[in-house]
Chain A
Amino acid sequence: MSGMGELPLGLAEAARLIAAKQLSPVELAECALTRAEARNPELHAFIRLTPDLALSQARAAEARQMSGALKGPLDGIPIGHKDIFETAGIPTTGHSRILADHVPAKDAAVVRAWAEAGAVTIGKTATHEFAWGGPSFDLPWPPARNPWDTTRFTGGSSTGAGAAVAAGLVLGATGSDTGGSIRGPAGLCGLAGIKPTYGLCSRSGVLPLAHSLDTTGPIAWTVEDCALLLQAMAGHDPEDPSSADRPVPDLISGLGGGVRGLRIGLIRHFHESDLVASPAVRAGVDHMAAVLRAEGAILSEVTLPPLLDFHAAGWLILMSEAHAVHEPWLRTRFHDYGEILRERLALATLVSAADYLQAQRQRRRLCQQVAAAMEGVDLLLTAAQPTEALPIDRVSKFASLESPGLTIPFNLTGQPALAVCTGFGEGGLPVGAQLIGRPFEDATVLRAGHAFERATAWRARRAA
């Protein structure tokens, strides 16, 4: 297992092997570290590796394995943390010169949760600067590259998480999602990634981008892996004011229950007319609809407000709140930001207080309209990204504002949204779709995504 071998295909498989004492957590960590050291000069998935921590955690997991005291499916599993998640004694930079020397005193709540479940931290993964500015080439660390084609973008902002999981360097990673930063890399790197319901997972100890939109969640190879990771990070945290004070949902026991009788509303206008996705992306959504129908789901079409309405409200809110977060550094350290983020933040200063409140008023109406549209369905379905991954040097500075995004609507509404791989496009790169549920019905979203993956063979194909 050690050396430049392959990791198991997914987290769930690795967990089964560890539980059966057929896989050593120490050898698994050594394999992950060796792979990461070998591939990182090309992929830039990690800002830093944490071998001492990883091997210490892996040895502890192995001792539990040998004594029959494993904590659960995450025990001994190699993972990465996006470098906006604070880690005690390990620099947490936000991929920015501004925080290059920032060493937190304690772990973010979800970092602590995964560690307590036995996960093994291989390193801190690359991100767009402060989860918004990238892909940038003028920062202390280069941007992550897509393992399917290293000339391509990973999607952002959880760039390193997408690259590290897709390349098989770790079996799961934390991401954050404010406008699509989990679902973007999941979609473009051929992975599963869930933006949980707003408030389900703590953001305490995570560098903020926009407080009323920010969520934390997992990226992994399969939906089942995401469910296992999300189960370990969900739950109330009194240190996060947005955290929902409600029981932790059971995301695992019903995962294999299938979709028979589930009602799924296809938001065709999002990806076919409001924004015209590529033929492969559209075919992928239709493929997913057909598979789920064959599995017993009841498909219909639903109409939501135009994507541009979500786009306008979402970006005005995101920019205003990001400006508030960064205002002190903007005044004192403006040219320490990378070019992309400093110009995006400069643009954000042009949004007025009235603009922000108009956007929040529109947000309330959009939430009401989506809730009404979901009265007749259990889930929504649309594309995750409009195209395959673009060349990394052709992502424009203000790309997010140039056309409406497919992911930000569900940051506005706070609903759980899962990106899954639906196949490959004309360029041979992955394409994906999103399943969206009602607030706090994350388990239903995961169940449908798992049913799709189980009925298709896309999870057998890996990046070289």
Chain B
Amino acid sequence: MPDPLPEPLFDALIARAGLPLTPAERDSVRAASRHIAALTERLRPQAQVALEPATVFRP
């Protein structure tokens, strides 16, 4: 399992989202951020450069 997001990055993303996390919430959510890292790591190696997303817009 990957590490949680680095503290400066985590704090910047939470600040951008405008969330008033308590210290306990900050610890809990930052610990869980390793799940996000695991999910994104799982996808990235498989993406082919020309692969279209499943949400291609059709007017």
Contact = CB atoms under 8 A, between A and B. Distances in A.
A309 B53 contact: no
B24 to A, nearest CB: 10
Interface string B9-38: 010011011111100010011001101101
Contacts of B7: none
B51 A343 contact: no
B52 A349 contact: no
Contacts of A331: 17-19
Interface string A324-337: 00010011001100
A316 B29 contact: no
B36 A364 contact: no
Main secondary structure on A side of the interface with B: helix
Given A315-B39, A358-B40, A364-B52, A347 B32 contact: yes
B40 A355 contact: yes
Interface of B: 5, 10, 13-14, 16-21, 25, 28-29, 32-33, 35-36, 38-40, 42-44, 46-47, 51-55
Contacts of B14: 346, 349-350
Contact of A346 (B25, B43, B52, B54): B25
Given A308-B42, A365-B46, A397-B28, A349 B54 contact: no
Given A330-B19, A335-B20, A358-B47, A351 B36 contact: yes
A360 B13 CA distance: 22
14 contacts: A212-B55, A312-B39, A316-B40, A327-B17, A334-B20, A343-B28, A347-B33, A350-B5, A358-B44, A360-B55, A362-B43, A362-B46, A397-B28, A401-B32
A427 to B, nearest CB: 28
A449 B55 CA distance: 32
B47 to A, nearest CB: 5
Contacts of B38: 312
Contacts of B5: 350
Given A309-B42, A330-B17, 18 more contacts: A308-B42, A309-B46, A311-B39, A312-B38, A312-B40, A316-B43, A331-B19, A343-B28, A346-B21, A346-B29, A349-B19, A350-B36, A355-B40, A358-B43, A358-B44, A364-B51, A398-B32, A401-B39
Contact of B47 (A308, A327, A362): A362
A361 B17 contact: no
Given A334-B20, A342-B25, A358-B43, A350 B13 contact: yes
A9 interface: no
Contacts, number: 95
Nearest to B33: A350
Nearest to A402: B35
Main secondary structure on B side of the interface with A: helix
B31 to A, nearest CB: 9
Contacts of B39: 311-312, 315-316, 355, 401
A289 B10 CA distance: 47
A363 interface: yes
B35 A401 contact: yes
Contacts of A357: 53
Contacts of B53: 357, 360-361, 363-364
Contacts of B43: 312-313, 316, 355, 358-359, 362
Contact of B54 (A347, A367, A398): A367
Interface in A397-452: 397-398, 401-402
A350 B3 CA distance: 14
A401 B42 CA distance: 13
Contacts of A351: 36, 40
A365 B53 CA distance: 9
Contacts of A309: 42, 46
Contacts of B46: 309, 362, 365
Contacts of A312: 38-40, 42-43
Contact of A361 (B16, B33, B47): B47
A313 B38 CA distance: 11
Contacts of A342: 25
Nearest to A362: B43
B10 to A, nearest CB: 7
A308 B25 CA distance: 27
Contacts of A367: 54
A361 B56 CA distance: 10
Residue in B19, B42, B54, B55 whose Cβ sees the most chain A Cβ within 10 Å: B54
A398 B35 contact: yes
A330 to B, nearest CB: 6
